[in-house]
Amino acid sequence: MTKYVVAVSGGVDSVALLHMLHKLDQHDLVVAHMDHGIRQDSPEDERFVRALADRYGATYHAHRVELGPNASEDRARSERYDFLRRVSSMHDNAPIVTAHHADDVVETVAINLHRGTGWRGLATHDSGVVRPLLGYTKSQLYEYAKQHGLEWREDSTNRDTKYLRNRIRQHVASMPREDKRRIIELREAQKQLKGAIAAEVKKLMGDGPSYSRYFLTHIPSSAAIECLRFITEGRVTRPQLERALLAVKTAQPGSTHQIGAGVLLQFTTRNFFVSLIK
């Protein structure tokens, strides 16, 4: 039986996912629950998920951090995936499974475009995490849970409009299903394009350690940004990449530029070197 680490918050999405996987009776399930310490009642979620894992006979892991009520979504996500990867490593790097669904994809695309991420913002949820519910909408998961008599926990922070995702969610919920389907299809096309671009960039740039300033200066800026993203291993943001490209074009020979996230650029007249500080 294939072992999976299933991220379960206690909300309707992850409860439905766990129920589906349990019904298949084909997998060895490890339930992983993260308490971010954002809400006062979050320990009740942990007790609920613990009981759920016990009911399904699943191995259970839980972890709590004290992020506090003002924690950002990005910080909470980072802590959560760090925990999930640790649990995975405890089980021979078993695949991580999450309950992301179609509405989540649409929300993330909207957030990324709002933040100005460019075309890459459409190629969301493309990591090695297994996401079997991307073909379901939120309303379909609610319907599934009701049909099977499932119980779940409601996260009060999902209604807090200080979070950008929650503000966008209100609009996504009322979108026609056909519009959501088109965005999902566009995401899939962009994921494939992202892979093709990565392969071409690798051919162009090689393994380093030095790179031509002349080459990056004379190709379109959008292509140069992709090349810089590749050689910096995706560590830095688009604004940082734009500043790096400006440095490639204008930096004095012998100068060094720290562009963020431990990425150091060192320049000669013709070339530049990239150092990635751990």
Give CATH 3.40.50.620 domain extents, the chain.
2-184
- The tens digit of pLDDT for each residue in 238-276 reads 889 999 999 999 999 999 999 888 899 999 999 999 988
For residue 114, give every residue at least 6 positions away whose Cβ sits within 8 Å of its Cβ, in sequence order, or none. 164, 168
Structure tokens at 246: 């400006």
Please compute, for residue 114, the number of CA atoms within 13 A of its CA located in the half-sphere on the CB side: 10
Number of Cβ atoms within 10 Å of the Cβ of 248: 23
> pLDDT 10s digit of each residue in the chain, 278 long?
899 999 999 999 999 999 999 999 889 999 999 999 988 889 999 999 999 999 999 999 999 999 888 888 888 888 999 999 999 999 999 999 999 999 998 888 888 777 777 777 777 776 789 999 998 999 999 999 999 999 999 877 777 666 777 788 878 878 888 888 888 888 888 888 888 888 999 998 988 889 999 999 999 998 999 999 999 988 888 889 999 999 999 999 999 999 888 899 999 999 999 988 76
Q: Is 31 exposed, middle or buried (0-12, 13-18, 19+ CB in 10 A)?
A: buried
How far lies 15's CA from each of 7, 29, 98, 199, 229, in Å?
10, 13, 11, 38, 37
What's residue 174's pLDDT? 81
How far lies 68's CA from each of 39, 75, 76, 105, in Å?
7, 11, 10, 27
| pTM value > 0.85 | no
Give CATH 3.30.465.60 domain extents, the chain.
206-276
- The tens digit of pLDDT for each residue in 72-104 reads 888 888 899 999 999 999 999 999 999 999 999
Q: Which fold has domain 206-276?
A: 3.30.465
**CATH superfamily, with its number, for domain 2-184:** HUPs (3.40.50.620)
Rounded CA-CA distance 17/33 in Å is 14
Structure tokens at 256: 């060094």
Structure tokens at 188: 């899939």
Amino acid at 254: G
